Amino acid sequence: TMPRAFGLRHVIPHLPEFTARYPGIDIDAVLSDETVNLIDNGIDLAIRIGVLPDSQLIARRLAMHRRIACASPTYLEQHGAPDSPAALAGHEVLRFPLMPDDRWWFAARAPRGEEQVDEPIPVQLRGRLRADDTDALRQLAIAGCGIALLPVWALGHALRDGRLVHLLADWDVQTARTASAIWAVYPPKKTVSSKVRAFIDFYADRYARLVDWES
């Protein structure tokens, strides 16, 4: 099981190669943004994104999960670009209703090669539109409806072709105080099955070789 938007972009496209490499493994893929109970539903593995809650499940990080604030040129022509995180309070912000609160957390980006030491600061948001789908938020942002916080894996070529503009590029931003990631999660067992291990290793290798998620 996996989130729909991420699965369509970064799991399903690699399945032909995976199934060709492992002809003895069958795949039942469940694309859903609901958090499915793995044990009750007999599911071997989940790909989950964000900050994992405490649970009995075993998790392995597959990749970092970086988000950026962005808006369309049309929105910026009409409303201007925020020059600081605090300035977002005066903007229309496109929000995801499943987030724990209406805040984004900002920390000044550390120089390359150095660890982030600043504590993230919260910024309260406002806006008329919410959507519980990453692709919907991306479309609304491109249409000029507001500023969105989108994962880099969902942007496609929207930055490169100018449909979206990266805002507050000197800041790291996330939806919670704790940084999130992309995880492989599976039920605890004395021995991890070879099919689960093969799947996790295959995708961890694919994601490690990406220069950026647009590729």
* Domains annotated on the chain, with CATH: 4-64+180-208 (3.40.190.10), 67-174 (3.40.190.290)
| Sheet hosting strand 181-186, strand order edge to edge | 46-50, 181-186, 58-64
Give the pLDDT band (50/70/90) at residue 36. confident
The residues near 117 (Cβ < 8 Å, ≥ 6 apart) are: 110
Rounded to 5°, angle at Cα 66 from 60 and 71: 150
What pTM did the predictor assign? 0.85
Please give the residue that has the higher pLDDT: either 36 or 85. Answer: 85
pLDDT tops 60 at residue 114: no
Give the pLDDT band (50/70/90) at residue 213. low
Distance between CA atoms of residues 126 and 71, nearest Å: 15
pLDDT in the model for residue 117:
56
- Give 145: exposed, middle or buried? Use CB within 10 Å, 0-12, 13-18, 19+: buried
- 3-state SS record for 160-200: CCCCCEEECCCEEEECCCCCCEEEEEECCCCCCCHHHHHHH
